Structure 1
Amino acid sequence: MAGHQSAGLGAVLKQPRSVWAVAFASVIAFMGIGLVDPILPAIAADLEATPTEAEMLFTSYLVVTGVAMFFTSWLSSRIGAKRTLLIGLALIVAFALAAGLSGNVESVIGFRAGWGLGNALFISTALATIVGAASGGTSTAIILYEAALGLGIAIGPLLGGLLGSWSWRGPFFGTAVLMAVGFIAIVVLLGKEETKPTPIKLSAPFKALGRPALAVLAATALFYNIAFFVLLAYTPFPLELPALQLGFVFFGWGIGLAVTSVLVAPVLTARMPRTRVLWMTLILLSLDLIAAGLLIDVKAGLIVCVIVGGLILGIMNTVLTECVMEATDLPRSVASSSYSAVRFLGGAVAPPVASELAKIFTPSVPYYAAAGSALVAMLIVLLGRKALARVNAPIESELEEAEAIAIGES
């Protein structure tokens, strides 16, 4: 079994240059999610904003990302993946720069919304591009994509903390520079598409949610992401740490997420059905969030809950993405964009609601509400397991996929 795992890791690392270019840019794109995390208290203080207003930096970004996701497959199927990726990166550079130059919290919230549009164009197209271009089959591509996500989410808060210790504007300027580097990498390393993509109807991602399997997974992701973003976006306020220290806490969280997404999730799915991994992981997440609520006044205890949460989320992210890619016979760009849209909209609700719950009740209540949301996601998986029967079949390797196509054509 050890040999099998190392061979799997070797397959993940053995990729064309174009895949590495998209993966590198993905790392930077995902850095944008957690980048503002350590500077939320500083933005609230410097721009005289309430915690709820500061949390809107997540909400505006995630709402626009979610809504725009419904239309990304339509656009990329007409102008091609490379152009879509480049437009997305260019928008992120422009809006990150504008956010760093802002003088009030309302402007920063607005520019983060524009950033979300660029992110939507990039993220959903990047997943489909990596799955299409990676060697080693779908499973390898998803592990690579989730590793990029984990690494980006880990580095984002650390960079945010480092640059945020100088000024809250620093992380925005830093992102603009890094995204410009990602833009150049895509231009140089990602070649032209060999075949012209088949145009996808504007209604396709909406109709996709009518498929029972994708509907179940999207609903699961909606409630799961509420829990995810309470842990990520709300925790900086009860922790009450300087920006740099917050950066290190969430760097540890992101490293845990990256490690389990690459090394632990494949081991679990090799030994049990994916649906079982999903509901078991959601139970663990709810227990972790309850512990965070109970330990909210103990800084060390809350930090441990954050790190453990990262380990749990890494498993969940990889397995959920694998399920979405395999649940239907829809084009992967359509499945990715419709599922991701619902997922990000769930995340958009969480930060300001968590802040308001803390203000109305006690600081622990947002964690208990998030634990309840994770349990709702778990119940959706259990109740919808018949619709998800297809996702429990092994993901085919590249060779098996090719053989299946050859048999179908003969």
Structure 2
Amino acid sequence: MSHSSSSHAPQSNPFRQPRAVWAVAFACVISFMGIGLVDPILPALSTKLNASPSQVELLFTSYLVVTAVAMLVTGFVSSRIGAKRTLVAGLILIVVFSALAGSADSISGIVGFRAGWGLGNALFIATSLAVIVGSASGGFAGAIILYETALGIGIAIGPLLGGELGAITWRGPFFGVTVLMAIALIATVVLVQPTPRPEHRTSIADPIKALRHRGLLTMALTALCYNWGFFTVLGYAPFPMDLGAHELGYVFTGWGVFVAIFAIFGAPRLQARLGIARALYVNLALFAVDVLVIAVFTTSKTVLIIAVIIAGIFIGVNNTITTQAVMTVAPVERPVASAAYGFVRFIGGGLAPFAAGKIAEHSNVHVPFYVGSAAIALGIVVLATGHRLLGEAERAQEAEAGRTAEDRAEEEALAEELGSSG
């Protein structure tokens, strides 16, 4: 059944790409490693630096809230200095601030340097998606899959590397990012061609104005709710698990592997079979149930570990489908849509871990996950208000896929003609 409805999907291989795309994708992998990298060392940081869980959670909050707000400036910057220079500036900031975080001696110092890291991350993330979509061969859907693959691999490797380096010293993961990002920086400088500046400059207000579009606002608010659940699991679950850095690294690597597999293979199949709207409703409902299981069985280590790893499935599917939908539902330029969406989405991701720590301090360890599950369920309600717009996004994607397939057919026909005439 899925074959008939997926006939629109472009058949090109998303992994046959120019070198510049690979350079940016590699840098994306490292960038996304930064998200999960600190996960295995959260309990250790809490102990070593005499900080409460909610203070340690500020590592996520400062990073993601700054990333969110800085998303608003990314278009403003890249439309003035070009995409390549923006990528390079973002990578330089990440290298500098991850090194500073590794050499800090207090939790407030690390939190402050993570904020600078978040600024670099915003410049990099918003621009990298636009560069990959602009430079990739084989159409828009293939570019998104490549981007989500980089995200998935980064999220999977981050906790593994964080666990290994964190077992040596809590400073290890920060210095690890510094070295890897320096490599990514060199690759980007050497392999990515200078990009022409856009015809017109983007203002700082453009992403905020873009949120007037009902479809973009609906998708962004849905993502805020879902990210609340996602980052409650990512940021707070390591505390009740009560595992060492190595073991936490393995748990979150299992989680990240599911994120990667389902972002690349699961999401396109589910969308082909159910359509955007139904695929998202089903996926969000299952994710809400999974987080509810975590809430009920927080004190059972086995159930908690299994449910956290399974959460990767729903996160992978959601990331790919929503990113594609956002890029097609908004009647604005893709970098502006990406910035507006990122701004709203990361606010949810940034506030959730800190809120989880505070809620647990004032109630018990189960309540943050009940709140996370309720937030995801609220996301379904928000999404349902834009049901018609999701249908429009689907038709736009099918039209784009159709165009890509036609272009390829023309290229092949031309190549055959040239071959026979030669």
1:37 aligns with 2:39: yes
Task: Look up the match of 2:367.
Answer: 365
Task: Look up the match of 1:210.
Answer: 212
Task: Look up the match of 1:266.
Answer: 268
Matches of residues 182-201 of structure 1 in structure 2 within 5 Å?
182-193=184-195, 196-201=198-203
Moved more, 117-126 or 377-386: 377-386
Give the total of aligned pairs. 403
Kept in 2: contact 1:139–1:395 (CA 8 A): no
Q: CA deviation at 1:301?
A: 1.1
Task: Look up the match of 1:116.
Answer: 118
Counterpart-to-counterpart distance in 2, 1:9 and 1:48: 54
Q: CA deviation at 1:56?
A: 0.3
Q: CA deviation at 1:329?
A: 2.5
Task: Look up the match of 1:80.
Answer: 82
What SS does structure 1 have at the residue aligned with 2:288? helix
CA gap of 1:10–1:252, structure 2 versus 1, over 3 A, is farther
Task: Look up the match of 2:283.
Answer: 281
Question: Unpaired runs of 5+ in structure 1?
Answer: 405-410
**1:84-132 deviation per Cα after TM superposition (whole angstroms, max 9, x unaligned):** 0000000000000000000111000000000000000000000111111
Q: CA deviation at 1:402?
A: 9.4
Kept in 1: contact 2:10–2:404 (CA 8 A): no
Task: Look up the match of 1:54.
Answer: 56
**1:316-352 deviation per Cα after TM superposition (whole angstroms, max 9, x unaligned):** 0100101101002211000000100110011111001
Task: Look up the match of 1:97.
Answer: 99
**Match of residue 107, structure 1, among 86, 90, 109:** 109
Counterpart-to-counterpart distance in 2, 1:395 and 1:93: 40
Matches of residues 5-404 of structure 1 in structure 2 within 5 Å?
11-193=13-195, 196-393=198-395, 394-397=397-400, 400=403
Q: CA deviation at 1:401?
A: 5.3
Moved more, 117-126 or 295-304: 295-304
Q: CA deviation at 1:271?
A: 1.6
Given the two structures, how large is their TM-score scaled by the length of structure 2?
0.92
What SS does structure 2 have at the residue aligned with 1:198? coil
**1:263-311 deviation per Cα after TM superposition (whole angstroms, max 9, x unaligned):** 0100011122201111111100010001111221221211110111001
Moved more, 194-203 or 135-144: 194-203
Question: Unpaired runs of 5+ in structure 2?
Answer: 408-422
Q: CA deviation at 1:194?
A: 5.0
Kept in 1: contact 2:227–2:348 (CA 8 A): yes
Percentage identity across aligned positions? 48
Moved more, 186-195 or 229-238: 186-195
> Which residue identity is paired with 1:357?
I
What SS does structure 2 have at the residue aligned with 1:49? coil
> Which residue identity is paired with 2:137?
S
Kept in 1: contact 2:35–2:158 (CA 8 A): yes
**1:244-270 deviation per Cα after TM superposition (whole angstroms, max 9, x unaligned):** 110010000000000000001000111
> Which residue identity is paired with 2:293?
A
Moved more, 378-387 or 231-240: 378-387
> Which residue identity is paired with 1:277?
A
Kept in 2: contact 1:324–1:339 (CA 8 A): yes
Counterpart-to-counterpart distance in 2, 1:202 and 1:74: 6
Counterpart-to-counterpart distance in 2, 1:196 and 1:383: 34
Counterpart-to-counterpart distance in 1, 2:69 and 2:330: 22
**1:339-379 deviation per Cα after TM superposition (whole angstroms, max 9, x unaligned):** 00110011111001111111222211111110000000011
Q: CA deviation at 1:243?
A: 0.5
> Which residue identity is paired with 2:333?
P
Counterpart-to-counterpart distance in 2, 1:63 and 1:40: 18
Counterpart-to-counterpart distance in 2, 1:9 and 1:227: 34
CA gap of 1:23–1:339, structure 2 versus 1, over 3 A, is same
Counterpart-to-counterpart distance in 1, 2:101 and 2:221: 32
Task: Look up the match of 2:412.
Answer: none
Kept in 2: contact 1:60–1:110 (CA 8 A): yes
Counterpart-to-counterpart distance in 2, 1:61 and 1:17: 30
What SS does structure 2 have at the residue aligned with 1:248? helix
Q: CA deviation at 1:164?
A: 0.2
Counterpart-to-counterpart distance in 2, 1:130 and 1:48: 42
Q: CA deviation at 1:389?
A: 2.9
Kept in 2: contact 1:213–1:327 (CA 8 A): yes
Q: CA deviation at 1:201?
A: 2.2
> Which residue identity is paired with 1:115?
W
CA gap of 1:401–1:12, structure 2 versus 1, over 3 A, is closer
Q: CA deviation at 1:199?
A: 1.4
CA gap of 1:55–1:31, structure 2 versus 1, over 3 A, is same
Counterpart-to-counterpart distance in 1, 2:12 and 2:294: 37
Counterpart-to-counterpart distance in 1, 2:398 and 2:12: 18
> Which residue identity is paired with 2:376?
A
Counterpart-to-counterpart distance in 2, 1:193 and 1:103: 40
> Which residue identity is paired with 1:80?
G
Q: CA deviation at 1:204?
A: 0.8
Counterpart-to-counterpart distance in 2, 1:25 and 1:312: 24
Query: RMSD over aligned Cα, in angstroms?
Result: 1.9
